[in-house]
Amino acid sequence: MFDIEAVIEDLRKRRPVFVSEADFQLEFAWSIKRLYRDNYDIRLEYTPSDQALNEQSKMHIDILLKPTDTGKWIPIELKYKTKSCVLQHNGEIFDLANHGAKDIGCYLYLNDVQRIEKIKTVKQADYEKGYAVMLTNELSYTKPPRKNDCVYAAFCIDEGRIKHGTMGWSSAASAGTKKGIESDIVLDGSYLIKWKNYSELTDGKGKNVQFKYVVCEV
């Protein structure tokens, strides 16, 4: 049986930090291969052929697993959001980008959960389970917003939040903030946000940089 926490444990021992989201995705898939060998077919950036999943634009699933015995779908969506810093690991320098835009990052993570729910609905008998994962060193994601009435309050994913139902932008949100992501997020399931420690490194200035991750199982 697939255990995503075992995969993350294998990954954190090998790679405490990543160059980019693509790097995170590739190494995540490699940990799956290391642990499960040929028990799963693994596809990266998979585009489903189902018309119901591609009504507006082509859907891309970061990682799609299919057990070789059942063929049922296990979609995994990954997010890697970083705060600017320079880290070193095993002699390699990691100059991390500053992604900022926490409001958009929260929206996109919940949109991953929504996308997996849609896959679950469409595939039904061919679906096993799915996961939305975010890894970040921007620890403000794990904490409540400074203002309770911020424009993205409905999308906050700080520790202990339960995400369910319809979530939308505040009426005060600007058109620029919402550009391309105007639609409400609607979740059928209920998801407890629980952040866990991933790794801790020291930057060039001697400051500790901590990474945390959250997983929602659909």
Give pLDDT tens digits for 21-30: 999 999 999 9
- Give me the residues paired with residue 216 across strands: 132
Q: Is residue 169 part of a domain?
A: no
- Identify the sign of the CA torsion 86, 88, 93, 97: negative
Q: What is residue 169's predicted lDDT score, i.e. its pLDDT?
A: 94
- Is 207 within 8 Å of 22 (Cβ atoms)? no
Q: What are phi and psi of 182, to 5 degrees?
A: -75, -30
Q: Which residue has the higher pLDDT, 164 or 54?
A: 164
Paired tokens of 102:
């926490």
Per-residue pLDDT reduced to its tens digit, 64-117: 999 999 999 999 999 999 999 999 999 899 999 998 789 999 999 999 999 999
Residue 56 has pLDDT above 60, yes or no: no
What pLDDT score does 106 carry? 96
SS3 at position 65: strand
Q: Which alpha helices (H) appear in 15-143, and where do they start and end?
A: 21-36, 102-123
Q: What is the pLDDT of residue 174?
A: 87
Instruction: Look at residue 187 and tell me if it is in a domain.
Output: no
The per-residue pLDDT for 50 is 77
- Res. 55 pLDDT band, cuts 50 70 90: low
Number of domains in the chain: 1
Domain that holds residue 66: 4-144+194-217
Is 173 domain-assigned?
A: no
pLDDT tier at 123, thresholds 50, 70, 90: very high
Domain-located, residue 176: no
Q: Which residues contact 58 (CB under 8 A, 6 or more apart)?
A: 47
Whether 60 and 112 have beta carbons less than 8 Å apart is answered as no
Confidence (pLDDT) at 140: 95
Closest by alpha carbon to 154, among 136, 166, 139, 141? 166
> What are the contacts of 55-58 at 24+ separation with CB within 8 A?
none
- Inside any domain, residue 51: yes
Residue 78, in any domain of the structure:
yes
Q: Return the pLDDT at 127.
A: 96
